[in-house]
Every structure is written in C-alpha cells, then in structure tokens.
Amino acid sequence: MALIVKKFGGSSVATTEKILAVAERILNEKKPDDKIVVVVSAMGDSTDNLINLAEGIDREPYKANYLREMDMLLTTGEQVSIALLAMAFKKFGQPAISLTGSMIGMRTNSVHTKGRILGIKPQRVHEELNKGQIVVVAGFQGADKFGDPVTLGRGGSDTSAVALAGALHADECEIFTDVDGVYSADPRIVKNARKMKEITYFEMLEMARLGAGVMQPRSVEMGQYFNIPIHVRSTFTNDTGTIIREDYTVEDKDFEIRGVAHDQKVAKIAVLGVSNTPGIAHTIFSALAKANIDVDMIVQSIRNIDKNITDMVFTIALEDLAEAKKVVDRVAERVNASSVLVEEDVAKVSIVGAGMLGSPGIAARMFGALARADINIDIISTSEISVSCLIKASQLTEAVNSIHDEFFSD
C-alpha cells in the first residue's frame, strides 16, 4: 500500500473530456490498496475568464483593496475542477470526494493572491482516505485565520501538492505536467538533452532558480523540507519521469554537471561613473531592496583608477525593470553617477551540479565552450553548485547547445 499525492495542472483538466481521461488514467495505475489524493488546478483558461469578469468591474482588478475579493473569485476555479473530477471518478465506480483548500486545513497567511502556507491539518483527508475514497483537492488555495480564501500565487498548485504530501506523510508526490521529466537542458532548445532519472532537491532548486521552468523553487523547497520524493512526469504517457529527492539511489551521476539552465527574463542595469567611495554599493542596493527588487548578478569594475571612478553593473528580473529604473535613476542623481544604462537584450546561461564542488576545471570548460562558439561573456557569477554567464540574448540557443555538448556528449 502506498499513499500517493498526484497533481494535475490546468491544461490536464481543461475540458470535461480531459477530466474523464485523468480519472481513467489514475484508476488504471492505482493498485487496489493505494490511497490516492489528487490535487488539481482550475480548468484551462477558467482563471483568465474569471480575471476578465473582474476587469468588467474595474480595469485594474489587482489593486490592493480588491485582492481579498480576487481570491474569493479565483478560488472558484479549482472548486469547479475538483467537483467535476470527483464526479468523473464516481462515474467509473470509484468512491471519491472533493475538498477545497480550506477543507483540507491548508492554513495560509493573509497575503491575498500571494499567500504562503503556514501549516496543514489534513484530518479530513485521512478520514476520507480511510473510507476508501479518492480525495480530490483544490490546489493553489488555502484559508487564513479568518477562514477567508487565499490563493498561493505562481506555482501554487505544485506547492500545495508537495506540502500536502508532506503533511500526509505520503510516499511520493507526482507532478503531472506537459514535459516528461527534468532534462539536462531545455529540450525545446537542445535536441539531444537527456532526461534525468533523479536529481537532488539541492540541484533542482538551483536549476529552478536559474530558469529551469519545470518546477517552481518553492515547491522544491517544500519537498526538501518534508523529504518527500517529487516525481515529475508526463500527463500524456505512462513513462517514469524524474524523481527529485534527497540523494541519488541509482548510478546516474556519470556527468560532472546535472544540467544547463537558462533565463531570458533578465535585464541589466549599469550605473556608470560613480565615485569609488565606501557605501556606494550599499546606497544603490538598499534602495532596490526597499522597493522589493531582487538583484541577481553584480559586478563592480574600476574604470579609472586615478580618478577613482567605478561602474556598478547588475542584473534583475525583467518584470522588475520599470520599477528598478525609477529607483536607480533617483539614486544615481544622489551619488552623482555620470549615467544609467539599461539593457534588455541579455540572457543568463548557467551550469548546475553538486559535482563541481572541488572541480575547478568545470567553470573553465564552460567558458571554453562559449569562446569556441564566439560568444562574449558580459558578467560571470558563481554559487557553490553553479556557474552563470550573462550573454547577448540573441546568442542564447547557441550558448546552451555548446555548453551542453561540452558536458553531455558521449
């Protein structure tokens, strides 16, 4: 007997035909004694439709004082899909029951539309499982201390599935998605990318942080916290996908690195001609921190050692660019910078792998691969288990492929 949490995203339940197919698939795989919890998102574009309705009331439905009502509105999306999926199981003769986020005791803070999970008391889930029911749970949502519905923000359904698996002490959490696992690079860019059998939480987190879209970092953190194996697999096939876990169980570590990640949603800001005095970096980056803008790569370079003039260059998420520019322009005036340059045509390519710890040659091989492809590196940054290079966005595909070839060709 195994207790398994399975999560299906919105595209897997976009129509009633697909919902029936999901139910059928789960029943085909289910062993008689298995206890199954299914976490689902809202059907296809139903969330967009709900947002459109809200825009009929106000063109800016995400204003701060609307957010509680947006959550009241948006949580209906999953409530529809759980009801229909539970009906689909019953149609096939399988007892099933749907439960909302609030009903599974998914307690969140009160930050509407971007809630965080504070804890789960899934008593009701255990009760229904013990009655032989498949329990269908609304992902992406919980309730705060007032009992008000709260949505979890981006990637929230994965996060709730993994957190619920943790709270239930499940044997595994399966994330069904439109890709069939975690690859050594994005298979849309690298033709011969390899599907990994396993990857550690630590490396997966770094991959996700560096742009690998398959899992949101928060859900991987949650898996690590509860030590729940996360099985990333395809909605469309029955193949085994990739299991994210604490450590490797099979011999799958022939390669020095685990994968090549990339991120195009970055922008570069350069504050030029600043006097190189103590506190300049602090002035710039504390202003950005106050505006809730994360700074990623940072380079400070001396331009003129005699005049003690320096340039401060850093990257941020592309979506924060407009806000960051405002903040930086203000600060630049205060610190007498000569100018502020912004560049959007940049991308970040990274290699990830715990194996590179104590293997200094690996970074050099990455730079060599880029050099051979005639790609100029703008900024380099490193962490314990990754090396990242900022390059021109137009050269990204070539960069990812040449680095992947360097490490993964037989």
Burial, 227: exposed, middle or buried (Cβ in 10 Å; 0-12, 13-18, 19+)?
exposed
Place of tokens 């859900």: 219
Count the residues of the shown chain that bind its own copies, applying the rule CB under 8 A: 37
Token pair listed for 191: 């033709």
Which residues 141-160 are close enough to bind its own copies by CB under 8 A?
Answer: 147-148
Minimum separation from the CB atom of position 172 to its own copies (A)? 27
Determine if 98 is a binding residue for its own copies (CB under 8 A): yes
- Euclidean distance between CA atoms 395 and 374, whole angstroms: 9
Q: Are 124 and 73 in contact (CB under 8 A)?
A: no
Minimum separation from the CB atom of position 76 to its own copies (A)? 4
Beta bridge partners, 382, equal: 387
- Euclidean distance between CA atoms 331 and 290, whole angstroms: 12
Candidate list 22, 26, 36, 103; residue touching its own copies; CB under 8 A: 103
Give the up-direction half-sphere exposure of residue 173: CA atoms within 13 A in the CB hemisphere. 31
Contact pattern from residue 359 through residue 398 relative to its own copies, giving x for each residue in contact according to CB under 8 A and a dash for the rest: ----------------------------------------
Nearer to its own copies, 61 or 156 (CB): 61
Which residues 46-75 are close enough to bind its own copies by CB under 8 A?
Answer: 50, 53-54, 56-58, 61, 65-66, 68-70, 72-73, 75
Q: Are 233 and 285 in contact (CB under 8 A)?
A: no
Minimum separation from the CB atom of position 61 to its own copies (A)? 7
Minimum separation from the CB atom of position 27 to its own copies (A)? 14
Determine if 115 is a binding residue for its own copies (CB under 8 A): no
Nearer to its own copies, 92 or 225 (CB): 92
Question: What backbone torsions phi and psi does residue 2 show, to the nearest 5 degrees?
Answer: -130, 145
Contact pattern from residue 74 through residue 93 relative to its own copies, giving x for each residue in contact according to CB under 8 A and a dash for the rest: -xx--xx-xxx-xxx-xx--
Residue type for 171, please? D
- Euclidean distance between CA atoms 170 and 228, whole angstroms: 7
Q: Are 212 and 348 in contact (CB under 8 A)?
A: no
Q: Tell me which residues touch its own copies (CB under 8 A).
A: 15-17, 19-20, 50, 53-54, 56-58, 61, 65-66, 68-70, 72-73, 75-76, 79-80, 82-84, 86-88, 90-91, 97-98, 100, 103, 147-148
